[in-house]
């Protein structure tokens, strides 16, 4: 448990992080502040692993190894970046756990992961690719503050906690022609429109009446230009695909691409596909959830069981594919502004319950 001096130090750090927001992949000042804090206030072994930090509490060889992860990047906004998701608070919470580890013998080795680039879905993949020790962890834990729920409550869900999602781009190329003789060319507009209208039926075919979530959001259908004498020769359909299960999204992508390829063959067009901002489903290990529930309740923490996964995505799903563990939430208050909104700011009152939750998992 943090004493008053330690808590004040963590709150001050959170304010420092809030004042230097940096976009995904550019968290240089943020990383340096975190490293300086850990080296000044703890005896942890701190490593810069190429854009992310690993801080280790080592008690010996052959002991169980447990990991805790926090993100550090801010959101892009006009003119720069801003902490409108609370990653400044998440990093401060993990630093609070670092202080709570000092002088303790736990019978295990503990690794604190300060991860960059969560908002783009790239940061967790970097941890997976650059730290072989991740796969040796017996458990990995991470959290996110979540507005709309009682402040300081612990939000738990078995299975999928946050949806998988990706941006899917279908590009179609044809041949230009004079607008008076469109048959001399190959215009992609009709195919792209048919494809956009066909996707809901594809989703129905995959779900077959099951109540799990699989959805698409049209982001843009762009074709041709503004020269009214030329028939369009190229276009693209941009969609966000989202669902409880990665397998459903993969099946939907396969149907979309098969539809586009068949249409292109029939109409003398060419197509190409691109995925962007890929996030897997963030799914907790069942045994880890059971252990966590027992420990949260033993610590006197208020627990809320969520009925549905969050629709937003979290790149911690990459980490939970490499190591068994659990992702959970800390309620930020029923009336708190929503994540990613202009009115949002991390509430320092969440630090103590969040550190207590992490401590309970030790």
Residue after which a domain boundary falls, among 278, 294, 323: 278
**Over the stretch 242-258, which tens digit does the pLDDT of each residue have?**
999 999 999 999 999 99
Q: How far apart are the first and last CA of the chain?
A: 12
Same domain, 143 and 285: yes
User: Partners of 154 in the beta sheet?
Assistant: 303, 330
Same domain, 86 and 112: yes
pLDDT computed for residue 235 by the predictor: 98
Same domain, 227 and 300: no
Non-local (6+) Cβ contacts of 260 within 8 A are: 170, 172, 191, 195, 271, 273
Between helix 4-19 and helix 351-361 the angle, nearest 10°, is: 110
On whether the CB atoms of residues 72 and 34 are closer than 8 A, the answer is: yes
User: Partners of 133 in the beta sheet?
Assistant: none
| Helix and strand numbers, DSSP H then E, in the chain | 9, 18
Residue 255: which domain range? 164-278
Residue 188, both tokens: 């992609």
What mean pLDDT comes out for the span 323-337? 98
What mean pLDDT comes out for the span 95-123? 97
Same domain, 174 and 321: no
Alpha helices in the chain (DSSP H): 4-19, 28-41, 87-101, 123-130, 189-207, 246-267, 286-298, 316-322, 351-361
Output the furthest CA–CA distance in the chain (Å, rounded): 81
Distance CA 105, CA 204 (A): 54
On whether the CB atoms of residues 140 and 324 are closer than 8 A, the answer is: yes
What mean pLDDT comes out for the span 108-120? 97
What mean pLDDT comes out for the span 63-92? 98
Same domain, 101 and 237: no
Q: What is the mean pLDDT of the chain?
A: 97
Q: CATH number of the domain at 324, please.
A: 3.40.630.10
Distance CA 123, CA 116 (A): 5
User: Partners of 111 in the beta sheet?
Assistant: 56, 67
Distance CA 329, CA 319 (A): 17
**Over the stretch 142-195, which tens digit does the pLDDT of each residue have?**
999 999 999 999 999 999 999 999 999 999 999 999 999 999 999 999 999 999
**Over the stretch 43-57, which tens digit does the pLDDT of each residue have?**
999 999 999 999 999
Global pTM reads: 0.94
pLDDT computed for residue 304 by the predictor: 98
Same domain, 155 and 73: yes
pLDDT computed for residue 1 by the predictor: 84
What mean pLDDT comes out for the span 25-33? 98
Residue after which a domain boundary falls, among 278, 299, 318: 278
Residue after which a domain boundary falls, among 241, 259, 278: 278
Number of folded domains that form the chain: 2
Residues of the chain with pLDDT > 70, as a percent, come to 100
Same domain, 44 and 155: yes
């Amino acid at each position: 448990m943090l004493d008053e001096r330690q808590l004040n130090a963590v709150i001050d750090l959170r304010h420092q992080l809030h004042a230097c927001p940096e976009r995904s992949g550019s968290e240089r000042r943020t990383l340096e502040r975190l490293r300086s804090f850990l080296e000044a206030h703890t005896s942890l072994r701190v490593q810069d692993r190429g854009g992310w930090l690993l801080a280790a509490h080592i008690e010996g060889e052959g002991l169980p190894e447990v990991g805790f992860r926090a993100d550090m990047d801010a959101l892009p906004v006009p003119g720069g970046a801003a902490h409108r998701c609370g990653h400044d608070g998440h990093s401060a919470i993990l630093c609070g756990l670092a202080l709570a580890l000092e002088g303790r013998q736990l019978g295990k080795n503990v690794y604190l992961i300060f991860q960059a680039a969560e908002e783009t879905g790239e940061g967790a993949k970097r941890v997976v690719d650059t730290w072989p020790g991740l796969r040796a962890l017996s458990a990995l834990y991470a959290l996110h503050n979540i507005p709309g729920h009682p402040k300081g409550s612990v939000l738990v869900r078995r299975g999928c906690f946050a949806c998988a999602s990706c941006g899917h781009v279908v590009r179609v190329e044809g041949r230009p022609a004079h607008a008076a003789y469109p048959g001399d060319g190959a215009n992609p507009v009709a195919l792209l429109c048919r494809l956009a209208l066909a996707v809901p039926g594809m989703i129905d075919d995959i779900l077959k009446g099951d109540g799990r979530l699989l959805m698409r959001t049209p982001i843009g259908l762009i074709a041709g230009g503004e020269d009214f004498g030329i028939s369009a020769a190229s276009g693209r359909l941009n969609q966000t695909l989202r669902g409880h299960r990665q397998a459903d999204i993969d099946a939907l992508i396969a149907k979309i691409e098969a539809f586009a390829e068949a249409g292109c063959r029939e109409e003398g067009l060419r197509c190409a596909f691109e995925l962007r901002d890929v996030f897997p489903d963030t799914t907790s290990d069942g045994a880890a959830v059971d252990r966590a529930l027992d420990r949260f309740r033993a610590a006197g923490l208020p627990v809320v069981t969520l009925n549905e996964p969050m629709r937003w995505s979290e790149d911690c799903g990459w980490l939970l594919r490499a190591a068994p563990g659990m992702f959970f939430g800390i309620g930020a208050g029923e009336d708190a502004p929503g994540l990613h909104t202009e009115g949002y700011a991390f509430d320092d009152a969440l630090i103590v319950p969040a550190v207590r939750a992490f401590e309970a998992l030790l």
